Amino acid sequence: MPLAPIIRVHPDDFDIVAETAALTAGRTDIGAIVSFTGLCRSENGRLSALELEHYPGMAEAEMTRIGTLAIERFGLLGLTAIHRYGKIAPGENIVLVIAAAPHRQAAFDGANFVMDFLKTSAPFWKKEHHGDGTTGDWVAAKDADDSARDKWR
Amino acid sequence: MTRLVYFAWVRERIGKAEEEISLPPTVATVGDLLNHLKTLGEEYETALQFPEAIRVAINQEHVDHLEPLAGAREIGIFPPMTGG
C-alpha cells in the first residue's frame, strides 16, 4: 500500500518534537529527517498579526496531493505537513513540514518541494493586522514563489 | 444550481463568502463564468476586473480558465495563494 502523508489544518499550534517522534516511532529504516517551520514575522514592528484564511476541505486535499507527489518523487518514508489558520502573532508558528527518508538528500529535497508547492498551490491567504489595531492589506503573491515552484518541473 | 465559494479579497469585494446560482446554458467554461459574474453587479465587477489574478477550483481542484464547468458542484474563486 502506498504511503500516505500526514496532513493537518487547524488553528492550534503544533509540537515539532512530538510530530517528529510520531513519524519515526518503531522505525529503523529512516536515516534522515528534515523539518521546516514557517513563523510569523513582525516586519520590523509593522505587524501585530497575520490572519490566515483557508478553503476548508480543499486545503487538506491540496496538501495531500502535494505530499503524495513528494513521497513518490523522492522516495520518502514519511511526510507530515501541518498548516495553521486564524490570527497568528509574530514569533508564532504558521506551518510545519517534516520529511523522512533513508538518506539526507531526499529528505532535504522532499521538504523543500512540499514548501515550494504549498506556498503557491495550497489555498491559504494572509491578511496583515497592524500594531495600531487597523487591518491592512492582503499579502500579495510573489513571483519568486512561482519561480521556486517551477524549478521542480 | 451550482455552489460558488469566495475567499480573501474576492470574498471581501463581492461581499459574501458563498452563494448558490443557476448558470445560463451559454456559460460553458470557467472564463465564461467569470464574465457572467461580472454582469451581476458592481461588486462582482470590482472583484473580478483582473481575470489574470483570479484562481479557480472546481470540486476543490485547481483548474485554468479554459476548463469546462460540466460536472461542477462547487466552484471556488480566489486570489493567488499566499500561505506557508
DSSP characters over B1-50:
-EEEEE-HHHHHHHT-SEEEEPPPTT--BHHHHHHHHHTT-HHHHHHTS-
Answer whether residue B83 is part of any domain: no
Q: Which three cell numbers stand for residue A19?
A: 510530530
Answer whether residue B24 is part of any domain: yes
pLDDT tens digits, one per residue of A112-148 = 999 999 999 999 999 999 988 888 899 999 989 999 9
Answer whether residue B42 is part of any domain: yes
pLDDT confidence of residue A136: 84
Answer whether residue B47 is part of any domain: yes
pLDDT confidence of residue A131: 83
pTM to 2 decimal places: 0.95
% of chain B residues with pLDDT over 90: 100
Answer whether residue B84 is part of any domain: no
Calculate the average pLDDT of chain B. 96
Using alpha carbons only, what angle is made at residue B55 by residues B53 and B59, rounded to the nearest 5 degrees? 170
Average pLDDT over residues B37-64: 97
Average pLDDT over residues A64-74: 98
pLDDT confidence of residue A1: 54
Chain A residues with CB-CB distance to B61 below 8 A: 58, 61
Using alpha carbons only, what angle is made at residue A79 by residues A14 and B82, rounded to the nearest 5 degrees? 65
Q: How many domains does chain B have?
A: 1
Neighbours of A71 (CB within 10 A): 22
Instruction: List the domain range (segments joined by +) for residue B69.
Output: 2-78
Q: Which residue of A has its CA nearest to B12?
A: A138
Answer whether residue B55 is part of any domain: yes
pLDDT confidence of residue A23: 95
With a cut of 70, say whether residue B52 has pLDDT above it. Answer: yes
pLDDT tens digits, one per residue of B13-46 = 999 999 999 999 999 999 999 999 999 999 999 9
Distances (CA, A) of B79 to A140, B10, B74: 9, 7, 17
Residue A24: enclosing H or E segment and its boundaries? helix A16-24
CATH number (domain holding residue B54) = 3.10.20.30
Instruction: Using CB atoms, pick whichever of B8, B60, B61 lies closest to residue A53.
Output: B8
CB contact (8 A) between residue A141 and residue B81: yes
Answer whether residue B44 is part of any domain: yes
B31 touches chain A (CB under 8 A): no
Among residues A79, A84, A54, A58, which one has the least CA distance to residue A67?
A79
Return the bridge partners of A78, or none.
A100
Answer whether residue B12 is part of any domain: yes
Burial B30-61 (b: 16+ CB within 10 A, else e): bbbbbebbbeeeeebeebbeeeeebbbbbebe
Q: Say if residues B18 and B3 touch (Cβ distance below 8 Å).
A: yes
B8 touches chain A (CB under 8 A): yes
Q: Say if residues A136 and A111 touch (Cβ distance below 8 Å).
A: no
